Structure 1
Amino acid sequence: MGKRKSGRPVNGWLIIDKPAGPTSTAVVNKVRWALSAQKAGHSGTLDPEATGILAVALGEATKTVPYVTDADKAYTFTVRLGQATNTDDGEGQVIAQSDARPTDDDIRAALPQFTGDIMQVPPQFSAVKIDGERAYARARAGEDMEIAARPLHVESLALVERPDADTAVLEMVCGKGGYVRSIARDLGAVLGCHAHVLSLRRIWSGPFELEDAIPLSLVEALAKDPALDQHILPVEAGLNDLPEVQCTPEGAAKLLNGNPGMVFAAGDVEYGDEAWASYEGRAIAIGQYRAGELHPSRVMPTNRA
């Protein structure tokens, strides 16, 4: 018999407005402790000094994390012009400076180079692995590495404010794996003035927006209090990008045992599409739709009322 998990079976999403300071892992651990939850994870890391949406998945919702992680995310960030740092943000050491300052029109003219399908080199201080070791660990040891460029889709990038000659506020919508710090660094290079990120805020992540979020301080204040459960969103909230199919009672029983089950599909579901199956309003499986049946790849047996 396997070891019984400690805690209680909490299923759903708790959306946190992360403050600057804690790591994403520390926030997840705090949420799990506050709810006494058996299992928790998140759908996309934020740097410690970044703020905004951190979607924490609980219990069966952890099986839907890839669908939120792969979804587009939006950020607002402030760029410091005239300085480059070794971390590409304000936490690092200044390694280059320039007196040059671009105009607003200069910035707007440069932004199209960073939209669409681009190749991006992650920062030296990042979590990407090089020969099995995290880049930031090697960077902290003083090593200067060549990190391969990676594909990134940037849906939009716009200048939204210019507080002064030294700073610019941008807003970006991008896909999975984007580094805002790299955007700032490379923009500074194109403009010939150097640049780094001063502050960063994630304003939405896939289906989740700031209006869905609660501050970490509230999690701490309501720790071990049943009132915190009222802020948990259902597992289904993370599946907005997938079509829904509905199960028959017999189909639900088969799916919950890991077997293909009969479902009713709306007109927007075609053969071979990935979809999620609901029974009595709850998601019970994710899989591939084929000719009236869902062939499950993930089953969520405890996500039932």
Structure 2
Amino acid sequence: MARRRKGRDISGWLVVDKPAGITSTAVVNKVRWALDAKKAGHAGTLDPEATGVLAVALGEATKTVPYITDALKAYTFTVRLGQATNTDDAEGEVIATSDLRPDDAAIKEALSSFVGDIMQVPPQFSAVKVDGERAYKKARDGEEMELAARPLWVEELLLIDRPDADHVVLEMTCGKGGYVRSIARDLGEALGCKAHVKSLRRVWSGPFQATDGVTLEQVDALAKTPELDAFIQPLEVGLSDLQEVRCLAESVAKLRNGNPASVIATGVEFGDEVWASYEGKAIAVGTYRGGEIQPSRVFVV
């Protein structure tokens, strides 16, 4: 018999303003402990040295993680010109240098080629799998790999500051699956000057803002108290990119049992993915089919 996981049946989102020097998994574990939550996960890994939005899903909200992962997100990051590293960030070893320092006009012109639908090769030190093993594990063993390029949608990539000749501060809005370190590396190659990411911050992800996030110090200080619970956002926030339809009282049980049920909808087209609510609470996500939805995920809270 499988062991039941201990903890509270608590559902929703806790947005953490992640500090540098800790893994995303460690943050999730800290939040789970502090809230005594039975189940928790996050929507999009941040590198250990990166800061900013880490949205932690609790309980039934873990079923909405794909919608946050798929949403647009924004980063500000500082790029160090003149040095390439084996990790494409400041944690790695310098493997190439250049004395060239492009001016702002050249940088802005180069940035334009990284906007729209682009193909991007992940860093050697990344979590992509190669022959069933994480690339970073192979890279740590000194193995060089040819990683396949992956598509990425970049909505915007702007030069927002130039503190000195060696550094530029960029802001990027992009879709899922992007590696900021690859952007810095490839920008350095395009400019002929080499480059890597010096610092990185995720300022927002889907509906979640870093300015609304709690710090790890707050999580520690308020652990096991109602004050920390007060920071939890409803699981419905994770569905903000989907259209909402309302279900009838008699439809609730049908949907939660995985069966099609009638809904009230306006401005929704046949085949759209939607979420169904009853009295403001999420009941299910599913496909709209002319007056009813076929559920694909159901929520029990």
Task: Please give the range of the TM-score, normalised by the shorter of the 2 chains.
Answer: over 0.9
How far off is 1:88 after superposition? 0.3
Aligned AA (2:185): R
State the Cα deviation string for residues 125-172 of structure 1 (Å, max 9, x = none): 000001111000000000111101000010000000000000000000
User: Which residue in 2 is equivalent to 1:4?
Assistant: 4
How far off is 1:15 after superposition? 0.3
Structure 2 residue 280 is matched with structure 1 residue 281? yes
| Distance of 1:151 and 1:256 partners within structure 2 | 36
| Distance of 1:286 and 1:67 partners within structure 2 | 11
| Distance of 1:270 and 1:151 partners within structure 2 | 28
Q: Secondary structure of 1:249's match? A: coil
Q: With structure 2 as the length reference, what TM-score do the two structures score? A: 0.99
RMSD across aligned C-alpha pairs, in angstroms? 0.8
User: Which residue in 2 is equivalent to 1:297?
Assistant: 296
Aligned AA (2:16): I
| Distance of 2:163 and 2:183 partners within structure 1 | 19
State the Cα deviation string for residues 181-223 of structure 1 (Å, max 9, x = none): 0000000001111000000000000111123211111011111
User: Which residue in 1 is equivalent to 2:232?
Assistant: 232
Structure 2 residue 188 is matched with structure 1 residue 188? yes
Q: Secondary structure of 2:251's match? A: helix
The number of residue pairs the alignment matches comes to 301
Moved over 3 A (4+): none
User: Which residue in 1 is equivalent to 2:117?
Assistant: 117
| Distance of 2:5 and 2:150 partners within structure 1 | 38
User: Which residue in 2 is equivalent to 1:137?
Assistant: 137
Higher mean displacement: 285-294 or 155-164: 285-294
| Distance of 2:98 and 2:163 partners within structure 1 | 19
Q: With structure 1 as the length reference, what TM-score do the two structures score? A: 0.97
Structure 2 residue 38 is matched with structure 1 residue 38? yes
| Distance of 2:211 and 2:104 partners within structure 1 | 31
Aligned AA (1:290): R
Q: Secondary structure of 1:54's match? A: strand
| Distance of 1:257 and 1:23 partners within structure 2 | 37
Where does the alignment leave 5 or more consecutive residues of structure 2 unmatched? none
How far off is 1:225 after superposition? 1.1
User: Which residue in 2 is equivalent to 1:54?
Assistant: 54
User: Which residue in 1 is equivalent to 2:212?
Assistant: 212
Aligned AA (1:118): I
How far off is 1:42 after superposition? 0.5
Structure 2 residue 84 is matched with structure 1 residue 84? yes
How far off is 1:2 after superposition? 5.4
| Distance of 1:125 and 1:5 partners within structure 2 | 33
Where does the alignment leave 5 or more consecutive residues of structure 1 unmatched? none
